[in-house]
């Protein structure tokens, strides 16, 4: 009888332990930033880094659940967007920032696609052949790149988790290169595709709606 009681207690303790383990923390590994830190902020925000550090470097990349995000600090503002270009997945973290009609844009190092940091719109230079004297003008293709909301709190920079119920063109390449790591990005930036960076303007007869060729 005593043995039966001891055996019952043993199984009961094992059952309690299994419940504790099952209900344990599940947020570990949610964020893998460039520093390897794993930290969540207020209201579920995801810590990217220190405000002063990002201001000094000008940009920083992080991984949020395997998703590559790049944060830029440019002319007094922070901007966050998917690190992979919506066109063919080029590494935007290696691109240059230029001003186009008063808008700060990141230029993809692979094919020179321009993306506004503020809205994620793709810009192209085209003409309207219906105009008497058509001149090239920068025009929008619409929002192509996912933008992430930035929050500054107590000297730290956070991004909000993405709303995946709304899809953007850049999501495809985020998923394609998910968990590929910086080494893969580095190799691809040195590939023949990365050398195709000729800045191509549209021909006079080209429709404004056409995409620049790769």
pLDDT at residue 132, rounded to an integer: 82
Q: How confident is the model at residue 104 (pLDDT cuts 50, 70, 90)?
A: very high
> What pLDDT digit, counting tens, does each position of 55-74 carry?
999 999 998 767 899 999 99
Count of CB atoms situated within 10 Å of the CB of 65:
13
Stated as kind and residue range, the H or E segment containing 56 is helix 51-57
- The whole-model pTM stands at 0.66
What's the average model confidence in pLDDT over 20-33? 35
Q: Can you say how many angstroms the Cα of residue 199 is from the centroid of all Cα atoms in its chain?
A: 24
Task: Please compute Rg for the chain using Cα positions.
Answer: 24
> What pLDDT digit, counting tens, does each position of 93-102 carry?
999 999 999 9
Q: How confident is the model at residue 1 (pLDDT cuts 50, 70, 90)?
A: low
What's the average model confidence in pLDDT over 118-145? 91
pLDDT at residue 109, rounded to an integer: 97
Is the model's pLDDT at 84 over the cut of 90? yes
Count of CB atoms situated within 10 Å of the CB of 185:
19
For strand 137-143 and strand 121-126, is the pairing parallel, antiparallel, or unpaired? antiparallel
Cβ-contact 17, 25 below 8 angstroms: no
> What pLDDT digit, counting tens, does each position of 139-160 carry?
999 999 999 999 999 999 999 9
In our burial notation (b when 16+ CB lie closer than 10 A, e otherwise), range 46-56 reads bbbbebeebee
Q: How confident is the model at residue 76 (pLDDT cuts 50, 70, 90)?
A: very high
190-195 long-range contacts, CB within 8 A, separation 24+ = 193/88, 193/110, 194/90, 194/109, 194/110
Is the model's pLDDT at 46 over the cut of 80? yes
Is the model's pLDDT at 193 over the cut of 90? no
Q: How confident is the model at residue 186 (pLDDT cuts 50, 70, 90)?
A: very low
pLDDT at residue 206, rounded to an integer: 37
Q: Tell me the C-alpha distance between 114 and 183, whole Å.
A: 24
Cβ-contact 112, 101 below 8 angstroms: no
Count of CB atoms situated within 10 Å of the CB of 175:
11
Backbone angles phi, psi at 85, to 5 degrees: -60, 140
Can you say whether the dihedral through the CA atoms of 55, 56, 58, 60 is positive or negative?
negative
The backbone region for 142, taken as left when phi is positive above 0, alpha when psi lies in -120 to 50, beta otherwise, is left
């Amino acid at each position: 009888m005593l043995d039966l009681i001891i055996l019952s207690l043993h199984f009961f303790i094992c059952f309690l332990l299994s419940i504790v383990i099952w209900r344990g923390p599940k947020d570990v590994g949610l964020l893998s930033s460039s520093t390897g830190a794993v930290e969540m902020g207020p209201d579920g925000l995801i810590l990217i880094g220190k405000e002063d550090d990002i201001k000094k470097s000008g940009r920083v990349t992080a991984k949020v659940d395997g998703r590559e995000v790049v944060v830029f600090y440019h002319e007094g503002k922070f901007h966050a967007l998917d690190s992979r270009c919506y066109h063919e997945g080029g590494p935007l973290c290696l691109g240059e920032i230029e001003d186009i009609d008063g808008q700060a844009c990141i230029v993809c190092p692979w094919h020179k696609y321009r993306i506004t940091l503020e809205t994620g719109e793709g810009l192209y230079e085209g003409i309207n052949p219906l105009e008497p004297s058509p001149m090239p003008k920068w025009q929008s293709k619409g929002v192509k790149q996912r933008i992430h909301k930035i929050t500054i709190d107590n000297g730290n920079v956070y991004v909000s988790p993405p709303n995946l119920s709304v899809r953007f063109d850049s999501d495809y390449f985020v998923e394609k290169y998910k968990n590929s790591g910086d080494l893969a990005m580095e190799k691809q930036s040195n590939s023949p595709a990365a050398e195709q960076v000729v800045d191509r303007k549209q021909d006079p007869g080209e429709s404004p709606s056409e995409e620049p060729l790769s």
